[in-house]
Structure 1
Amino acid sequence: MTDQSLRSDDDAAMRRFSYTQQLKRSLHLFGSFAVAFSFISITTGIFTNYGFVLSTAGPAGIWTWPLVAVGQTLVAIVFAELAVKIPVAGYSYQWLRRMNAPRMGWFLGWISFSFLVLVVPAVDFGLAPLVAELLGMKVTPSTLTRIVLSVLALQATINIIGVKLAARINNAAVFTEAIGILGLTIFLFVHAFSNPQLKFDILVDTTTAAVASESYMIPFILSSLMGAFTLVGFEAAANLSEETVNAGHVVPRAIILSVILSGFFGTLFLIAATLSISSASLVVNMENPLTFIIQESLGPVIGTLFIILVIISIFACGLVITASGARLVFAMARDGQFFFNDRFKQVSSRHQSPVAATLLVFVLGAVVAVFSRSLTLLVGATSVLPAVIYLITIVTYVRRRHKLSGQYGAFTMGKWAVPIFVLSIGWLVLELAVLTVPREFHAVTYTAGAIMAVGAILQVLFFSKA
């Protein structure tokens, strides 16, 4: 099938949803996969949260990662089918509108927008200490904030220049992520197995856990924050459907593949890194535990080279999230469902990218970076909000699936739809309970609740006819 015929299929989908093609279609399978894989970015999530896991549940806390990966894979399968049926920008906002739930669609659009605005600085705060150490800068709050603001500006600039440049960087970042994670995993395994004092019981060690009760279950559950923060955003590939050639066939594969590979390679890396710990009580007190483990195990030169690869991967993660946030603003403004719609629905004729929407994501992200006082709070809030989005989307899809006509790809859950629906909904309810019920996460719960309350008020005041 020629590129031209594929584009005509994409154009037919756009016409069905009463849109004209404004964004440049240049992404193919690898580019679409790169968007989803870079958004997930296992290096970002693990480097940001590994210290939290060690101090909360001890090294044994890493085993929550594969559990979260299985649950998120179920969610990804449902979203892959949705991407086939509604291949346009705006993902959950757009999907619910097309399932005759426009008010809930606007509400999820608000939650998604809030999530994306919060998660970019959260990601960049995970990057900042690595950059500071690499440049020999003293790691202070003001230094980290300046680095984050600089990185936010660079990510916005690249996205404004156009999707093709951003795609090239994302494609390159997939290789740095793969080389970084695979290389680190192999080197750390070699180092660990060459150590005559290697003890596998480090993988179930709980000595550094902050156990506040007789039960270890609570700190173990809390450590699932790492996977919950990381293994999200796979639907970003769907959000760039209007910039993907043959989106109905490409996007579902990109979504599912990104989650499965992230879950698998993340598990291997966590095992390798944990086996390389010389002393859990020593590592847990380090500013950047993984950086310390890598440089202690591989030496400063090789360790620094791998840290550079990690920095590139984390940067690309923030880059693709910025793009995703801008596309959501563009999609809502195009439908008259955002503030200052005439401004934010505009697409640059020169770069074929939504410049105003990108600048909005940058400015709000900068405000969050300046006034944020807790990385854990940011991470927690950006874990709860996607779970809410996923749960509402899937429950609505269960109710309206039989009414959705048309399909722009071959992927379908078929006879497995019912068990996948049941398991994915059950998983998301459990995940939300884990991320909101424990006392340690109450501040996260209040933050997420406040965001949703503000959205409900704005909808009543300004978008009641959504």
Structure 2
Amino acid sequence: MSGSPATRAAGATDQDAEQLRALGYSSNFERSMSLWENFSLGFTYLSPVVGVYTLFGLCLAAGGPPMFWTYLLIGLGQMLVCLVFCEVVSQFPISGGVYPWARRLVGKRWAWMVGWVYAWALCSSIAGIAVGAGPYMAAMLGYDSHSNATIVIALALIGVSTVLNLSGTKLLARVAMFGFICELVGALLVGGYLLIFERHQPFSVLFNTFDIKIDGSYWPAFLAASLAGLFQYYGFEACGDVAEETPNPGRMIPKTMRMTIYIGGAAAMFACLALILSVPDMQKVLAGQDTDPVTTILANAFGPTGSKLVMAVVMVSFVSCVLSLQAAASRLLFAYARDEMIVGSKLLSRLNGNHVPAFALIVSGVMPAAIVCLGLFMADAVATIVGFAAIGIYVSFQLIVLAALIARAKGWLPSGQFTLGKWGVPVNVAALIYGVGAIVNMVWPRTPDAPWYLNYGMILTTAVVIGAGLVYMLLAKPYDKGHAPAGDAWKISGRQRSGRATGTLTEPA
């Protein structure tokens, strides 16, 4: 395309708008999010620092230093899921992510349930991350953390995130980019310092199980420790949640999704490696005498002042993570409302002067805040609800993976700018097998002496969410109110719906 940069940008925007119209929608979002800004949204949602630091002590105690390898194994499994998503979003770059993808691949009922489960999982995730920030804020400010202070910090964090998100896509992108830079640089600097100056363990410790056994075998302990990786590798789908705010999304978003997995995964593995090798006394951690090895490591390495600076970087990671999660939740609600699939659709589908769904953002703040406030009365209930966060997201993911297989069986051939070609079906099947295995591992009861509701809390909350959704869907039939296209992926196979003459270009995975 000839002409000035502004002319070329305007032409590209027109092509994106034409592609969206061909998919049955129009949008007033600003397409101002660059490739790196879109990637940073997924990266800060995945948040290596938040994921590693939050679960490090628990998973190290459960499986010992070999828990490090779970990040690699789970990362490879989630890359399979990511590749399936890349094919779908490339052909259907519509705001809201998993909901509109499910709508086009299978139909309205399937999409409604995917959106329902994913919405509750996102709200639970926001609440869980906000609550998890409390101890780090306490450490940074130098006071003892307690439940009420943690709740206040969580509510303040959600409030700040809501205000920032309401300010528009450009600010969201800039804050996410700032969070990405801080988190990546912080992880590299802190991890590098620990490896160079504070290494207390040999590299061979990564293969040392310290004779940890459950029923005579190490593998159950390793699977328990794999929760570190399972709770880490999601967030890449958030890149697609803002598809209508990203130029050339059919090409750009599959790329940023994959970047989120391998850059975020590498950062997480590096941070985990540095922490494992810097543990002063591994036996104390495995015996349960040191329940917070991250704080111990940072205090030993950086002293009171230095460790507070590190905690400040960690807090930036928490803020940007909550911001990205809330942005994803609001775009899901917007997409739901635009298709008249939810109560209050007119309000939830309305964009404010900053071109963001203001009412959807407010709801995406109020619901997690309500979950956090339950901690004032029922701490165990909050832990159970927050535990649903990861399992809900994994269930949503596998409903999309299964939807893609159903669509392929009916004749769907992905025709976006990213396709897997002949590898599409094998990767899709492998992603489903991995995902089902991951879900079983997450919900497996591992504390036989604990109350039943703790052992089966994830299964219980998942059953309640899905059951309530099914009852509401069958009685109210919310999926029947809108008239947006649905279940047509295989019907349009073989012809490009984009305005670009791209053919079936296949990018390297």
Tell me, yes or no, whether TM beats 0.5: yes
1:44 alignment partner in structure 2: 50
More displaced 10-residue stretch of structure 1: 114-123 or 434-443 = 434-443
Q: Distance in 2 between matches of 1:285 and 1:227?
A: 24
Report which stretch shifted further, 351-360 or 103-112: 351-360
> Who is 2:271 aligned against?
269
Q: Secondary structure at the match of 1:230?
A: coil
Residue 415 (structure 1) aligned with residue 419 (structure 2): no
* CA–CA distance in structure 1, aligned partners of residues 420 and 413 of structure 2: 15
Distance verdict in 2 for CA 1:465–1:274, change over 3 Å: closer
> What is the CA–CA distance in structure 2 between the aligned matches of 1:376 and 1:465, rounded to whole Å?
32
Amino acid at match of 1:58: G
Q: Which residue of structure 2 aligns with residue 238 of structure 1?
A: 240
Q: What's the offset of the Cα at 1:447?
A: 1.3
The equivalent of 1:455 in structure 2 is 469
Q: Displacement, 1:258?
A: 0.5
Deviations 1:419-450 (A, max 9, x none): 21121111111101111233445211111221
For 1:86, the equivalent position in structure 2 comes to 92
Q: Distance in 2 between the 1:124 and 1:287 partners? A: 21
**Could you tell me which residue of structure 2 aligns to residue 110 of structure 1?**
116
2:439 equivalent to 1:432: yes
- CA contact under 8 A between 2:405 and 2:429: conserved in structure 1? no
Q: What is aligned with 1:306? A: 310
SS of the residue corresponding to residue 438 of structure 1 reads: coil
Which residue of 2 is the match for residue 391 of structure 1?
Answer: 398
Match of 2:22 among 16, 23, 38: 16
- The correspondence for 2:225, drawn from 223, 226, 234, is 223
Q: State the Cα distance separating 1:91 from its structure 2 match.
A: 1.4
Matches of 1:54 and 1:179 in 2, distance apart?
24
The equivalent residue for 1:60 is: 66
For the pair 1:353 / 2:353, whether they are aligned, the reply is: no
Which residue pairs with 2:205 in the alignment? 202
1:286-323 deviation line (CA, Å, top 9, x unaligned) = 46421321221233333332221121012101101001
Q: How far, CA to CA, are the matches of 1:19 and 1:100 in structure 2?
A: 18
Distance 1:141 1:288 in 2: 17
Unaligned runs of 5+ in 2: 2-7, 448-454, 481-509
What are the superposed Cα offsets for residues 113-145 of structure 1, whole Å, 9 maximum, x if unpaired? Answer: 001110001111221110111112221111111
Q: Which moved more, 1:352-361 or 1:375-384?
A: 375-384
The TM-score normalised by the length of structure 2 is 0.86
1:289 matched to 2:293? The reply is yes
Question: Does structure 2 conserve the Cα–Cα contact (< 8 Å) formed by 1:119 and 1:378?
Answer: no
The one-letter amino acid paired with 2:244 is: E
Given residue 336 of structure 2, which amino acid in structure 1 is its aligned partner? M
Give the length in aligned residue pairs.
460
Cα shift at 1:208: 9.7
Q: Structure 1 counterpart of 2:465, which letter?
A: I
Q: TM-score, normalised by structure 1?
A: 0.93
Question: Is 2:88–2:414's contact at 8 Å kept on the other side of the alignment?
Answer: no
For residues 21 and 106 of structure 2, the distance between their equivalents in structure 1, rounded to whole angstroms, comes to 18
Q: CA RMSD in A?
A: 2.0
Deviation at residue 201 of structure 1 after TM alignment: 4.4
Counterpart of 1:298 in structure 2: which amino acid? F
User: Is 113-122 or 61-70 further displaced after alignment?
Assistant: 61-70
Relative to structure 1, is the Cα distance of residues 100 and 434 closer, same or farther in structure 2, using a 3 angstrom cutoff?
closer
Of 254-263 and 61-70, deviating more is 61-70
Closer, same or farther: CA 4–105 of 1 in aligned 2, 3 Å: same
Query: Which residue of the partner structure matches residue 172 of structure 1?
Result: 178
Runs of 5+ consecutive residues of structure 1 not aligned to the other structure: none
Cα distance in 2, alignment partners of residues 333 and 120 from structure 1 = 21
Cα 1:276–1:108 change in 2 (3 A) is: same
Structure exhibiting the larger radius of gyration computed from Cα positions: 2
SS in 2 for 1:391: helix
**Which deviates more, 90-99 or 25-34?**
90-99
Q: CA deviation at 1:146?
A: 0.8
CA positional deviation for 1:404: 4.9
Corresponding residue for 2:486? none
Tell me, in whole angstroms, the C-alpha distance in 1 between the residues paired with 2:479 and 2:356: 28
* Conservation of the 8 A alpha-carbon contact between 2:155 and 2:372: yes
Partner SS for 2:28? coil
Name the SS for the 1:4 alignment partner.
Answer: helix
What amino acid is aligned across from residue 292 of structure 1 in structure 2? T
The one-letter amino acid paired with 1:452 is I
Q: 1:153, CA displacement in angstroms?
A: 0.6
Q: Please identify which structure carries the higher helix content.
A: 1
Aligned equivalents of 1:266 and 1:422: distance in 2?
27
1:37–1:234 Cα contact (<8 Å) kept: yes
How far residue 100 of structure 1 moved from its aligned partner, in angstroms, is 3.9
Percent pairwise identity: 26
Kindly state the Cα deviation for residue 89 of structure 1 after the two structures are TM-superposed. 0.8
Structure 1 distance, partners of 2:384, 2:74, is 20
Q: Hey, what's the Cα distance between the residues in 1 that align with 2:357 and 2:391? A: 28
In 1, the alpha carbon distance for the partners of 2:227 and 2:204 equals 23
1 CA distance for matches of 2:479 and 2:214?
A: 49
Moved more, 370-379 or 450-459: 370-379
